[in-house]
C-alpha cells in the first residue's frame, strides 16, 4: 500500500512528537520504499514500532537479545547467526551487526525482510498470510498444538493490540476523525478496574 512520506511522518510523530523532522523523513522514505517493495501497509510497521520501542532507534532489550526500532533478535541476523555465543561473547562481526540494527533505516529494512519471510512461512504452513498471521509470527508467537498437529501463525493479545493501533492511525490521520488512541482507552479501563478493586476491598473491610 502506498502512503505519502508526510502521512507516514505524521503517524510516527503521534508516538514520538519530539522526533526531529529530518530523522522522521529519513525513516518515512525508507519505510515507504520497503512497503512498496514488499507490499505491506506502512502503518502496520508504524504500529509495530509504536509498541516495540516508541520509535527510539537505540533501544536494546533487557536480556540483550533484541535491537533497534523493531526489536529484532540479533542472533538470527547477519554475522551473529554463525556465532557460538552471540549474546555473551559476540565476535567483532556480530557486534557490527548489532550496531547496524541500531541504525533506524537499516532496522526498518530488516523489519520489511522479516515481514516478507513470515508471510511466506504462513502461506506455506496455512495457505494464507493475513496481517494477523504474519504479525503473530513477527511477534514470536509459537505454533499452537492441537492433538498431533501444530497450528502456525495464530494471533495473540499483542497481535490485536498492534492491529487496533493501525486502525486508529487510519481513522486519525487518513479519515481525520477525532478518535481516542487504543492506549488511552486501555489506560482508562485499567484505572477503572483498579478503582473498582479498591472499592471492593474497602467494602469488605467495612463488613468485617
- List strand residue ranges (DSSP E) for the chain, in order: 66-67, 72-73, 144-146, 149-151
Of residues 71, 76, 21, the one with CA closest to residue 50: 71
Helical spans, DSSP H, in 39-103: 42-52, 92-101
Distance (Å, rounded) from C-alpha 114 to C-alpha 106?
12
What does DSSP assign to residue 66? E
Q: In the chain, where are the structural domains located?
A: 5-57+103-177, 182-208
pLDDT at residue 201 tops 90? no
- pTM for the predicted model, two decimal places: 0.92
Q: CA-CA distances (angstroms) from residue 74 to 30, 65, 111, 130?
A: 20, 6, 12, 26
115 pLDDT exceeds 90?
A: yes
Q: For residue 205, is pLDDT > 80?
A: no
What are the pLDDT digits (tens) for 136-178? 999 999 998 888 889 999 999 999 999 999 999 999 999 999 9
Amino acid at each position: 500500500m502506498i502512503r505519502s512520506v508526510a502521512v507516514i511522518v505524521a503517524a510516527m510523530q503521534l508516538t514520538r512528537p519530539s522526533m526531529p523532522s529530518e530523522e522522521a523523513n529519513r525513516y518515512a522514505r525508507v519505510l515507504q520504499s520497503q512497503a512498496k517493495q514488499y507490499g505491506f501497509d506502512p502503518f502496520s510497521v508504524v504500529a509495530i514500532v509504536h509498541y516495540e520501542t516508541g520509535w527510539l532507534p537505540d533501544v536494546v532489550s533487557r536480556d540483550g537479545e533484541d535491537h533497534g526500532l523493531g526489536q529484532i533478535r540479533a542472533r538470527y541476523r547477519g554475522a551473529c547467526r554463525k556465532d557460538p555465543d552471540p549474546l555473551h561473547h559476540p565476535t567483532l562481526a556480530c557486534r557490527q551487526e548489532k550496531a547496524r540494527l541500531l541504525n533506524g533505516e537499516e532496522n526498518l529494512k530488516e523489519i520489511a525482510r522479516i515481514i516478507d519471510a513470515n508471510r511466506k512461512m504462513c502461506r506455506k504452513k496455512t495457505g494464507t498470510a493475513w496481517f494477523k498471521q504474519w504479525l503473530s509470527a513477527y511477534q514470536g508467537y509459537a505454533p499452537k498444538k492441537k492433538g498431533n498437529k501444530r497450528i502456525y501463525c495464530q494471533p495473540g493479545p499483542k497481535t490485536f493490540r498492534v492491529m487496533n493501533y493501525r486502525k486508529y492511525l487510519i481513522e486519525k490521520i487518513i479519515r481525520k476523525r477525532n478518535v481516542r488512541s487504543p492506549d488511552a482507552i486501555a489506560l482508562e479501563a485499567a484505572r477503572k478496574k483498579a478503582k473498582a478493586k479498591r472499592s471492593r476491598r474497602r467494602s469488605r473491610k467495612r463488613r468485617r
